[in-house]
Structure 1
């Protein structure tokens, strides 16, 4: 039901039109109790004002809220449950709505997980660790996360090197140690760890022409990185 234009409930008069011509003996004119309102009228008015919407109305309202959220962003089942629990629906109705949205295909954790993995690898250059963390933060169950990651080819090293190459070109003014530390940190934050991150960083920096400043000891012999 849409509210009135001014957002206010309609006013229900308690008196007839003749109420404005009361005599001085009328309790309303003399400041009598309730200004002439009968107690049974007041009780009926209070009961009507406090009447709660039925379960079907609550459900429709909650569904509309969830649909608006889904139009803005695809949600996991856990995220949708959180949205519905912020409404007046009881737990049973919340699960009924979620089941209906899953049946219609509006909610699908497996599809969402696959999309997040694709986006994470192709647009963000993320590795498996970062991808698993991202999906878990969205409330996607562990078994679905594992399924989605299992579809990836085992080429973390290749993806790490591709990401490192995209960043190394902007580090040509840095010395080797600083560039290596920064690039390794960027790779680690995207879920590439250990030797995969270090090897990718070293390779990308060498390809970009970033050189380590040689160390010249007192003997005058200059050591240059042989990597």
Structure 2
């Protein structure tokens, strides 16, 4: 069987962990790493596992350290998720979609996230969205209603709010501001449209001495009215 230097080196590394005092030293290092990190902020189980992996702590030692931290209450994913939801709703007014994304980035599992979202922090999402829209609408500037709706719905989507709650809040806010939709021209009434083409062809068919009429009106009667929906 050919000699594989890489396999031989890996076996030697694995054997080192079982030497007297090596695993104990690794356990002490793991404890120092996790306690230092936890003094700065709360961590999820997944975040601690990732941290110990990056520090190249032996997997068996890392598992034991995670379990120890859970036993003493320094890792509590349910409590961390509830705290994060409350803080993100209060400070950033995030909605369900954005909260799921934020908590997922903190390596919390889906079941824990859903339990935190169902805990009541978003019971009055409608009022939260209305507050966001009212504040944002005042800063839109001079825009038509379609543009205002598009910008406000996009803003709410970035905050994690959507569906009928977002649409109703936007419409209500714009109604209160008295912002109306811009009128749209009827089909063919625009520049270069069918109506213009037909008028031009009618003029070309008449002789030079005939009196041109646009829509049954004389040129001196003033501009023709443009039809709106």
Aligned equivalent of 2:137: 168
Quick one: structure 1 residues 72 and 211, their matched pair in 2 at CA, closer, same or farther if it must change by over 3 Å?
farther
Asked whether the 8 Å contact 2:44–2:107 carries over to 1, the reply is yes
Q: In structure 1, which of residues 117, 120, 139 is the aligned counterpart of residue 88 of structure 2? A: 120
| 2:56 matches 1:88 | yes
What 5-or-longer segments of structure 1 have no aligned partner?
1-50
Asked whether the 8 Å contact 1:120–1:131 carries over to 2, the reply is yes
What 5-or-longer segments of structure 2 have no aligned partner?
1-18, 190-224
Aligned equivalent of 1:105: 73
Asked whether the 8 Å contact 1:171–1:210 carries over to 2, the reply is no
Q: Aligned runs of 1:1-227 on 2, under 5 Å? A: 54-152=22-120, 153-208=122-177, 210-215=179-184, 219-220=225-226
- Equivalents in 1 of 2:38, 2:177: separation in Å? 43
| Count of aligned pairs | 173
Asked whether the 8 Å contact 1:184–1:198 carries over to 2, the reply is yes
Could you tell me how far 1:202 is from its partner in structure 2? 1.8
Could you tell me how far 1:214 is from its partner in structure 2? 4.1
Query: What do you get for the CA RMSD once the two structures are aligned?
Result: 2.5
- Equivalents in 2 of 1:154, 1:143: separation in Å? 19
Q: With structure 2 as the length reference, what TM-score do the two structures score?
A: 0.66
- Equivalents in 2 of 1:133, 1:85: separation in Å? 23
Could you tell me how far 1:80 is from its partner in structure 2? 0.7
- Equivalents in 1 of 2:76, 2:20: separation in Å? 33
Could you tell me how far 1:205 is from its partner in structure 2? 2.9
